A and B are shown apart, each in its own frame.
Chain A
Amino acid sequence: MTSRTIHIESRTERLIAVRDFVSEAAREFGFADDDVNKIALAVDEACTNVIKHAYRFAPDRDIAVTVRPHNTAFEVAIRDTGVGFDPSDVHAPDMKDYFSHFRKGGLGVYLMKRLMDKVEYEIDPGKRNEVRLTKFLAR
């Protein structure tokens, strides 16, 4: 497969287009359905975070999603120009505590880390924020 990019507007209705784009590329790269679904979910979570936190639901901002093959690594980069957020502030939620206080947030980032092998951030608020999600394929 070759690297390719999709641009979407920052609306939750566009998440399905991103999942379809990433699923097709992951399948082409060689992942089985189980891993394809995990990758698509991780990218959904990353894009939802951009819509909610970086763009604060402004509906017409740009989100760029690029898929790149690197030997056995399948990388997905999600870029935005919103306010960004510090992912180091997000800790794995304790579900009992999460539930009893009904804390919002944190679950999506936690799932992203569980679903992928590597999650990296480059944050430059207002200019360029990038989240890179990587999953390795056992060949």
Chain B
Amino acid sequence: MFVITPADNGDVLLSGRFDAAQVDRADAVLGRLQTTTRIDFSGLEYISSAGLGCLLKAQKRLAQSGHGLILIRMNKLVRDIFRMARLEVVFRIDDDA
């Protein structure tokens, strides 16, 4: 189960397990973002490189207009994967949000 939902406050909420089967659904939401957006990972249990690729694609597109994703509220497993993949050089990750 994977859910990606734009929230009323402008954040995008992720929950469930973000693997290669969820790429089209995630691209459909992330592809509509036009400005700097917080991605709330608090409900996300799992992410694979396919999910990381979706986020990288959105980040790349937004960066071209001076915007970007701010990633917040990751669990330990997901945070470890970002660290392992050295993605801190690409994303703004706010561990204290």
A interface, CB within 8 angstroms of B: 11-13, 15-16, 19, 34, 37, 41, 44-45, 48, 51-52, 95-96, 98-99, 102, 104, 107-108, 110-111, 114-115
Selected contact of A16 from candidates B17, B52, B56, CB within 8 Å: B17
Flag whether B86 is at the interface (Cβ < 8 A).
Answer: yes
Residue among B20, B46, B81, B85 facing the most chain A CB atoms (10 A cut-off): B20
A95 to B61, CA, bound (A): 16
* Known contacts A37-B77, A99-B59, A107-B52; A48 and B90 CB within 8 A of each other: no
Instruction: Decide if B11 is an interface residue (CB 8 Å cutoff).
Output: no
**Quick check: B84 and A95 within 8 Å, CB to CB?**
no
Chain A binding site: helix, strand, loop or mixed by DSSP?
A: helix
How many Å from the CB of A17 to the closest CB on chain B?
A: 11
CB distance from B63 to the nearest CB of A (A): 8
B92 contacts the other chain (CB 8 A): no
Interface size (B, Cβ < 8 Å)? 24
Q: Is the CB of A96 within 8 A of B17?
A: no
CA distance A51 to B17 in the complex (A): 18
Q: A102 contacts B85, CB within 8 Å?
A: no
Whether A99 lies near B85 (C-beta < 8 A) is no
SS of B interface (majority) = helix
* In the complex, B19 has a CB within 8 A of chain A: yes
- Assess the A104–B17 pair: CB atoms within 8 A: no
A111 touches B81 (CB 8 A): yes
In chain B, residues 9-23, which have Cβ atoms closer than 8 Å to a Cβ of chain A?
17, 19-21, 23
Report which B residues bind A (CB closer than 8 A): 17, 19-21, 23, 46, 48-50, 52-53, 56-57, 59-60, 76-77, 81, 84-87, 89-90
Q: Which 6 A-B pairs have the closest CB atoms?
A: A12-B21, A108-B49, A12-B20, A107-B49, A99-B90, A48-B20
Distance in angstroms between the alpha carbons of A38 and B84 in the assembled complex? 11
Given A15-B21, A107-B49 in contact, is the A99-B60 Cβ separation under 8 Å? Answer: yes
Report B-chain residues with C-beta under 8 Å of the C-beta of A34.
76-77
Q: Pick the contact of A102 from B21, B60, B76 — CB < 8 Å?
A: B60
A12–B49 touching, CB < 8 Å: no
CA of A110 to CA of B49 in the docked complex: distance in angstroms?
A: 10
Chain A: CB-nearest residue to B61: A102
